[in-house]
A and B are shown apart, each in its own frame.
Chain A
Amino acid sequence: GIQVEQSPPDLILQEGANSTLRCNFSDSVNNLQWFHQNPWGQLINLFYIPSGTKQNGRLSATTVATERYSLLYISSSQTTDSGVYFCAVGADYGGATNKLIFGTGTLLAVQP
């Protein structure tokens, strides 16, 4: 099956700093999502981005499908950005199955 690797596993930032999180995947995908899991466990959709570039405020993401990686950029980080960031991918298994495969996440701590 598809393997998903995220880096770095942990990241500590000072408020106001920028960061880049990376997601590598081992096969072609037709679904890629970035999530933020807050300290209460809520999984927040950040981006649906199987290819291309998107921006939403201080966050942006780029997926280069041909090279099998995606990047999540966080600019001017805030303490509320703390939590775990997950990359999840899905593929078309001929319609017989449909699932997201999650990486192990990047734990981000933003210090004031």
Chain B
Amino acid sequence: DGGITQSPKYLFRKEGQNVTLSCEQNLNHDAMYWYRQDPGQGLRLIYYSQIVNDFQKGDIAEGYSVSREKKESFPLTVTSAQKNPTAFYLCASSIGAWREASNQPQHFGDGTRLSIL
């Protein structure tokens, strides 16, 4: 079945450690997104990518990095510079790139819960 796979479901990070969250999609979507959700709140955009080898900062990009070497993969690294990384991270994708993507629904993976040890 086509879909978006995020791994792992749960992740623990030690102080000063970088961790990478995986997001893979087999929907042949061009655009991919990373969102962060804090308890009791809606989602906020961290980074997005319209096409391979391109990505743009969202509203809360500080302390995060991404890469887009393959169309189907958009990993997110939470660096030690992110001082409050404990949150629920959701990856999404949508058909089309650039202006086309803004007219298309976004589909979400099941998320990764990151906690600090």
A binding-site residues for B, Cβ under 8 Å: 4, 30-31, 33, 35, 40-43, 45, 48, 50, 86, 88, 90-95, 97-100, 102-105
Q: A41-B113, A42-B111, A102-B43 are in contact. Are A97 and B99 (CB under 8 A)?
A: no
Contact with A along B78-109 (1 / 0, CB 8 A): 00000000001010100000110111111110
Known A88-B43, A98-B98; contact A48-B108, beta-carbon cutoff 8 A? no
A105 touches B42 (CB 8 A): yes
Residues in chain B near residue A45, CB distance under 8 A: 105, 107-108
Q: Contact at B111–A100, with CB atoms within 8 Å? A: no
Are B110 and A100 in contact (CB-based, < 8 A)?
Answer: no
Among the stretches B16-24, B44-52, B65-73, the one at the interface with A is B44-52
B residues whose Cβ falls under 8 Å from a Cβ of A = 31, 33, 35, 40-45, 48, 50, 56, 58-59, 88, 90, 92, 98-99, 101-108, 110-111, 113
Greatest chain A CB density within 10 A among B42, B45, B105 is at B42
Residues A31 and B90 in contact, CB atoms below 8 Å apart: no
Contacts of A104 in B (CB 8 A): 40-42
Q: Would A100 and B106 count as touching, CB distance under 8 A? A: yes
Which residue of chain A is the closest to B98 with respect to CB atoms?
Answer: A95
Bound: A104/B31 CA distance, A: 24
A89 to chain B, nearest CB (A): 11
Q: Assess whether B105 is in contact with A33, with CB atoms less than 8 Å apart.
A: yes
